[in-house]
Amino acid sequence: MKRAVALACAAVLLGAAADAAAWCRMTTSRRQPTATEPCVLPDPSTDPPEQFLEWRRPCNSVGLSVAAPSRDLSELEVAGVLSRSAATWNAVSCDGVPVSYELRVLGERTTCTGPHYRDDGGNVNSVQFVLDWAERMYDANAFAVTTVWHRRSTGEIVDADLDLNERRGPFGICPDVGCDTRTVDLENVITHELGHMLGLAHSTDVDATMFVSAVAGETHKRDLHADDVAGICAVYPPGRPEGDCDPTPIGGLDLDCSAGCCTVAPGRPSRAGWPLGLALALIGARARLRARAARRRS
C-alpha cells in the first residue's frame, strides 16, 4: 500500500489564471504535482497503464465515527455539517442534467479511528477526528486528509476515509460570512475533502473549493465554484456511473474498523494486488493567502 500526501504548494499555485479550467482528477500515478505540472495526468505507457480514479457505482455512503469524535462540536453538529457538504456535491447539475452519483450519510456511526479498507470483508467510508496527527506522519499544516482506496489496475475507487486534524482546530460552524481567524469552519473543510472522496484532485483556481489551501475562518469552499462543477461533471458525466443505487460498501457494510486487516500505516510499502490508498490534504495557508481571503470577504 502506498500513501502519497500532497504538500503545501499554495505559494507556487497562486498565480494560476482564475478563468481557465483548473480542476484536476486524482489518478493512480505516484507522481506528485509540481509547479510546472500542477495536474498529473495518467501515463498510458506504464505497466499497468495509469488511470483516472472514479467510483464505478452510482451510490456510496459515508459515516461519522463515534470512536474519534470532535472535541469542539457535538455529534449532531458534525453530522449536520457532513450532510450539508454531501448535499452540496449531490446537487450538481451538468448542463442542466442532475448528476447520477449520490453520496449518502449513514444514520449509523462507525468505530473507525483512521483510514481502513479490507479486500476480504465489510467496509465503511468513515469520517473521524484525529489527535495523534504527527504520529501518523501527516502534514502538520493540513486541516484534513482524505485517503482514497483504489485498484491500481483499473482506477476504481473502492473506499475513502476522511481524517480531520484536531491539532489545527478548533473546528467550528462559522456564519456564512466567515469566522475569526482562529476557528476552522468544518463545512469549508469537509466539502473540499468530499471532492477528493469523489475523485477530484486539487484545482489551481484560488476560488475553487478544490484549491489546495484554506485559511482559518474562511467559508467560501462550502459552495462549489464553476471550476469544481466542471471537474466533477468531467468525472461523472450525465448517466454515469450506470446502475441501480446501492450505497452498501464493497464487501458489505461493517461499521467496526477494529476488525480485520489493512488499516493503513503511512509509508507502508505497496503490496501487489491490494488497493492503494492515495491521500490528499487541505493545507492551512499562511499570511499571503490569508490576506487574499480577507479581501474576498470584504
Helix (H) or strand (E) holding 266, with range, is: none
Contact in structure between 64 and 127 (CB atoms under 8 Å): yes
Minimum distance of Zn ion from residue 15's CB (angstroms): 19
Minimum distance of Zn ion from residue 74's CB (angstroms): 26
Residue 107 backbone dihedrals phi, psi, to 5 degrees? -75, -30
Minimum distance of Zn ion from residue 88's CB (angstroms): 16
For residue 293, what is the DSSP state?
H
Of the two residues 186 and 255, which places its CB atom closer to Zn ion in the complex?
Answer: 186
Identify residue 131 by its one-letter amino acid code.
Answer: L
Is the bond preceding residue 241 a cis peptide, omega within 30 degrees? Answer: yes
Of the two residues 157 and 282, which places its CB atom closer to Zn ion in the complex?
Answer: 282
Contact in structure between 86 and 92 (CB atoms under 8 Å): no
CA–CA separation, 111 and 113 (whole Å): 7
Minimum distance of Zn ion from residue 142's CB (angstroms): 8
Count CB neighbours of 297 within 10 A: 11
The angle subtended at Cα 233 by Cα 108 and Cα 61, nearest 5°, is 10
Minimum distance of Zn ion from residue 104's CB (angstroms): 22
- C-alpha cell of 170? 478548533
Minimum distance of Zn ion from residue 235's CB (angstroms): 15
Of the two residues 86 and 280, which places its CB atom closer to Zn ion in the complex?
Answer: 280
The CA R_g of the chain, rounded to the nearest whole Å, is 18
Of the two residues 148 and 173, which places its CB atom closer to Zn ion in the complex?
Answer: 148
Of the two residues 262 and 283, which places its CB atom closer to Zn ion in the complex?
Answer: 283
Of the two residues 152 and 202, which places its CB atom closer to Zn ion in the complex?
Answer: 202
Contact in structure between 6 and 32 (CB atoms under 8 Å): yes
Contact in structure between 168 and 205 (CB atoms under 8 Å): no
Minimum distance of Zn ion from residue 157's CB (angstroms): 15
Of the two residues 59 and 234, which places its CB atom closer to Zn ion in the complex?
Answer: 234
CA–CA separation, 198 and 229 (whole Å): 12
Secondary structure class of 235 (helix, strand, coil) = helix
- C-alpha cell of 93? 447539475
Minimum distance of Zn ion from residue 97's CB (angstroms): 27
Of the two residues 5 and 230, which places its CB atom closer to Zn ion in the complex?
Answer: 5
CA–CA separation, 9 and 146 (whole Å): 17
Summarize as ranges the residues that interact with Zn ion (CB under 5 A): 280, 282
